[in-house]
Amino acid sequence: MYSQRLITSLSLVALTCLQCVASADTRAEAVRSAFQHAWKGYSAYAYGHDELAPISNKVSDSRNGWGASIFDGLDTMIIMGLDDDYNRAVEHIRAVNWSKSSTPSKTFETNIRYLGGLLSAYDLKQDQILLDKAVELAEKVIMPAFDTPNRMPAAYVDVETGKPLEGNVIVLAEFGSLQLELVRLSQLTGNEKYQDAGNHILEKISEVPSQVPGLYPMLWELDTFTAESSYITISGGSDSYYEYLLKTHILMEGKETLQLDMWNTAVDSMQKHLRSETLNGRVFLGEIEQDFKLMQSGELVCFMPGNLLLGAAYLNKKELNVFAQELMDSCYGTWADSPTGLAPETWSWIDKAQNTAEYPEDLKQTMLTKGFLAQDTGYDLRPETAESLFYFYRMTGEKQYQDKAWKIFEAIEKYCKTESGYTRVSDINNTNDVGPLDFEESYFFAETLKYLYLIFSDPQTVSLDEYVFNTEAHPFKLKTPIQVQAKTFEN
């Protein structure tokens, strides 16, 4: 009797698991088809250009015209096993001339998309040409940014002269998150100068006092290397600064501790000063301007739940799990509560501690039921919530995160797909007309489709135990594996 029951329950487990693998496989296959659909359109109309405008089928060169979509999509092609596309891409990459462009190189974007894309594809496939092109790019376009009196990087570099452009305003996320790629480049080449340049910036930041411990304003002056405004956010303009503090610590095998301290202090301040609970119990990260706390946030901040969960597991700080979870649920809520299932770019809310007497009744009702109000109703094919769902799935093993990611994918399929790709839209609140805008960001290939694909793939595919992802979702190989993925995935 006992053994029979045991067998039955064992076979039940086996059956359930088979089903879950099968359905995950079908979903991964659907995401792969989406990539192929978009790549076919890009290849037909815009090959070699940075982006395709997927409605008019015109081309766009917003990233120096070196073919950003190719560099961004390269590692995704490797992961999805799209060999023909990969081989054609490598031929393009081989021929790119980094000294040729009609616009200056934006140091940060070139670093995360072009350098990041080359390094991760090299980590996944070890094609020597990729590392050679990475070194060439770093020498010609990225390292010259540091050719300033205080060795802090200029925002732009003239690619023909190899000189940094003048311009005194620099942005926290842009100068404060160059180090991860440069560390990996040093690890792969054995030349420490790249990581020295990158980490030196962080040392300098750590010496600058901040009004809120660990949280820095978005805009700085290059010459004086001081903040020139008081606006603090975790959103665009600042986001990857916080993200890379932890990831650099991990990539450097836990040996770099200054940036870990900076991350811990920043996270502590996020909990104390930015965390805000809405009238219906959601939790978002607000912003600070002078002495005011602004109750506004956006999709770009939704990388943070995943970053927190990664830190909680790697550093064994279980107390961060609740904070990560409440932010994850609330980020996903902005998708789930939208009529189209697509999240707005930004939203605002009333904190539950605020006096609501002065607010109109209908606004109060919205706040009590939905908890937030969309401000910018655009959706730019962004990956951040899917990215965090990827961390949550891989680190908890819970299927609910796959199901949530699938809902996101379905909404993108339904509302963003065009005949030749996927487009940014302007109104996620209108199911009759989302207002397609005719632009397909290169990060759609690098990030959105990669994270969605990996959520439905074998958890050992690009395991978080073996790779750390840059802010453009390019995975860099860790010299020594760590243990952060769910134990249930281990055989």
The pattern of x and - marking residues 273 through 312 that bind ligand NAG according to CB under 6 A reads ----------------------------------------
The pattern of x and - marking residues 89 through 118 that bind ligand NAG according to CB under 6 A reads --------x-xx------------------
* C-alpha torsion 97→98→101→105, nearest 10: 170
Whether 335 and 342 have beta carbons less than 8 Å apart is answered as: yes
**Cα separations (Å) of 331 from 12, 57, 247, 306?**
34, 33, 22, 11
- 377 touches ligand NAG (CB under 6 A): yes
Q: Minimal distance in Å, beta carbon 177 to ligand NAG?
A: 29
- Distance between CA 201 and CA 206 in Å, rounded? 9
Q: Minimal distance in Å, beta carbon 101 to ligand NAG?
A: 9
Whether 262 and 202 have beta carbons less than 8 Å apart is answered as: yes
- 160 touches ligand NAG (CB under 6 A): yes
Q: Minimal distance in Å, beta carbon 93 to ligand NAG?
A: 14
Could you confirm whether 51 is annotated as catalytic?
Answer: no
Pick 102 or 316: Cβ nearer ligand NAG: 102
Token pair 């989302």 in the structure block, residue: 434
Token pair 């609140």 in the structure block, residue: 429
Per-residue DSSP letter, 446: I
Q: Minimal distance in Å, beta carbon 92 to ligand NAG?
A: 15
Q: Minimal distance in Å, beta carbon 347 to ligand NAG?
A: 8
H helices present in 316-383, as ranges: 321-336, 361-369
**Cα separations (Å) of 446 from 37, 76, 87, 472?**
15, 6, 17, 6
- 74 touches ligand NAG (CB under 6 A): no
The site for ligand NAG, by CB under 6 A, has a size of 8
Q: Which residues contact 420 (CB under 8 A, 6 or more apart)?
A: 38, 40, 41, 42, 44, 45, 52, 54, 55, 57
Pick 185 or 374: Cβ nearer ligand NAG: 374
Pick 291 or 362: Cβ nearer ligand NAG: 362
Pick 344 or 421: Cβ nearer ligand NAG: 344
Strand, coil or helix: what is 354? coil
Separation of first and last alpha carbons in the chain? 29
- Burial of 122 per CB tally in 10 Å (0-12, 13-18, 19+): buried
| CA pseudo-torsion sign 393, 398, 404, 407 | positive
**Residue 364 region, left (φ>0) first, then alpha (ψ -120 to 50), else beta?**
alpha
Pick 350 or 374: Cβ nearer ligand NAG: 374
Q: Minimal distance in Å, beta carbon 99 to ligand NAG?
A: 4
Pick 58 or 100: Cβ nearer ligand NAG: 100
Residue-wise burial string across 371-403, b where 16 or more C-beta atoms lie within 10 A, e elsewhere:
bbebeebbbbbbbbbbbbbbbbbbbbeeeebbe
Per-residue DSSP letter, 286: -
The pattern of x and - marking residues 335 through 374 that bind ligand NAG according to CB under 6 A reads --------------------------------------xx
Q: Minimal distance in Å, beta carbon 160 to ligand NAG?
A: 6
Q: Minimal distance in Å, beta carbon 154 to ligand NAG?
A: 20
Pick 219 or 373: Cβ nearer ligand NAG: 373
- 429 touches ligand NAG (CB under 6 A): yes
- Residue count of the chain, please give it: 491
- 139 touches ligand NAG (CB under 6 A): no
Pick 76 or 346: Cβ nearer ligand NAG: 346
**How many alpha carbons lie under 13 Å from residue 40 in its C-beta half-sphere?**
9
Q: Catalytic pick from 181, 256, 345, 472?
A: 345
CA 2 to chain centre: 50
Which residues of the chain form contacts with ligand NAG (CB under 6 A)?
Answer: 97, 99-100, 160, 373-374, 377, 429
Active site positions, annotated: 345
